[in-house]
Amino acid sequence: MKQKNILLGHGSGGHLTHDLIESVFLKHFSNPTLNLLSDAALIDTEKGKIAYTTDSFVVDPLFFPGGDIGKLAIAGTVNDLAVQGASPAYLSAGFILEEGLSVETLEKVVQSMAEEAVNAGIQIVTGDTKVVERGKCDKIFINTSGIGFFDVNFSALGIEHIKVGDKILINGSIGDHGMAVMSARNQLNISSKIASDCACLNGLIDSLNEFKSQIRFMRDATRGGLATVSAELCKHQDFGIKLFEEKIPVDKGVRGICELLGFDPLYVANEGKVVMVVSNEISEQILDKMKKHTLGKSAAIIGEVTLANAGKCYLETQIGGNRIVDMLAGEQLPRIC
Chain residues 115-154 in contact with its own copies, contact rule CB under 8 A: 117, 123-133, 135-138, 141, 143, 145, 147, 149
Task: Tell me which residues in 296-315 interact with its own copies (CB under 8 A).
Answer: none
Does 73 contact its own copies by CB under 8 A? no
Give the three-state DSSP class for 55: strand
| Binding span for its own copies by CB under 8 A among 29-37, 160-168, 201-209, 248-256 | 29-37
**Residue 16 is inside which H or E element, if any?**
helix 15-20
Name the packing angle between helices 103-120 and 69-82 (round to 10°): 30
Q: How far is the CB of 147 from its own copies (least distance, A)?
A: 6
Are 248 and 301 spatial neighbours (Cβ–Cβ below 8 Å)? no
Question: Burial code of 5-23, b = ≥16 C-beta within 10 A, e = fewer?
Answer: eeeebbbbbbbbbbebeee
Q: Where in 175-234 is the site for its own copies (CB under 8 A)?
A: none
Q: Which of 254, 202, 205 is nearest to 225 (CA)?
A: 254
Number of residues that bind its own copies (CB under 8 A): 82
- Shortest CB 337 distance to its own copies, Å: 8
Stretch that binds its own copies, among 90-98, 242-250, 307-315, 318-326 (CB under 8 A): 90-98
Residues 33-62 touching its own copies, rule: CB under 8 A, are 33-34, 40-41, 43, 45-48, 50, 52-58
Mode of pairing for the β-strands spanning 123-132 and 87-98? parallel
Q: Rule CB under 8 A: say whether 25 interacts with its own copies.
A: yes
Closest by CA position to 154, among listed 84, 97, 81, 101:
84
Rounded to a whole number of angstroms, the minimum distance from the CB of residue 311 to its own copies is 25
Burial class (CB in 10 A: 0-12, 13-18, 19+), 296: buried
Is 217:142 a contact under the CB 8 Å cutoff?
Answer: no
Cα distance between residue 318 and residue 245, in whole Å: 6
Q: Which stretch binds its own copies (CB under 8 A): 32-40, 196-204, 243-251, 289-297?
A: 32-40
- Asked if 103 touches its own copies (CB under 8 A), the answer is yes
CB of 89 to its own copies, least distance (A): 8
Cβ 136 to its own copies, closest distance in Å?
4
Indicate the residue among 139 and 289 with the shorter CB distance to its own copies: 139
Nearest residue to 308 via CA among 234, 230, 244? 234
Q: According to CB under 8 A, which residues from 248 to 277 bind its own copies?
A: none
Task: Give the residue, chosen from 61, 92, 121, 207, that forms a contact with its own copies under the rule CB under 8 A.
Answer: 92
